[in-house]
């Protein structure tokens, strides 16, 4: 498929995988496709969207880490409380 500005999207055939430099257009009429400027603009938007998706993924990973961090912090508090409570019970039983 052609990517030239003169005939974007036009179909052609080559011999010997293009090594002999001979080609022939398969389309009788020009293909009605967006101009290369539009295609290039779409490519730029696609790159921007991919970048945005990667940023969202990174943000989600950070949020997961923070969520797990909060859970670990809560477990540590419960653990410290439990140890303190058990220590008080042991001290009470010793007296």
In the chain, the percentage of residues whose pLDDT exceeds 90 is: 19
The CA distance from 82 to 34, in Å, is: 69
Predicted pLDDT of residue 72: 83
Q: Does residue 59 or residue 32 have the better pLDDT?
A: 59
| DSSP label of 79 | H
The CA distance from 5 to 7, in Å, is: 6
Predicted pLDDT of residue 2: 62
Mean pLDDT check: name the lowest of 7-16, 40-49, 69-78: 7-16
Sorting pLDDT into bands at 50, 70 and 90, what band is 82?
Answer: very high
Cβ(10)–Cβ(1) below 8 Å: yes
User: Tens digits of per-residue pLDDT, 20-50?
Assistant: 777 676 766 655 556 667 778 888 999 999 9
The CA distance from 36 to 25, in Å, is: 19
Predicted pLDDT of residue 52: 92
How far lies 65's CA from each of 44, 52, 69, in Å?
A: 32, 20, 6
């Amino acid at each position: 498929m052609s990517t030239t500005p003169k005939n974007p999207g036009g179909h052609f055939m080559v011999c010997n995988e293009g090594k002999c430099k001979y080609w022939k257009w398969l389309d009788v009429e020009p293909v009605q496709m967006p101009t290369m400027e539009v295609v290039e603009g779409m490519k730029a938007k696609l790159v921007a969207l991919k970048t945005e998706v990667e940023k969202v993924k990174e943000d989600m990973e950070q949020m997961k880490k923070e969520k797990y961090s909060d859970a670990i912090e809560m477990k540590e508090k419960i653990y410290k409380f439990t140890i303190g409570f058990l220590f008080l019970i042991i001290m009470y039983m010793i007296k």
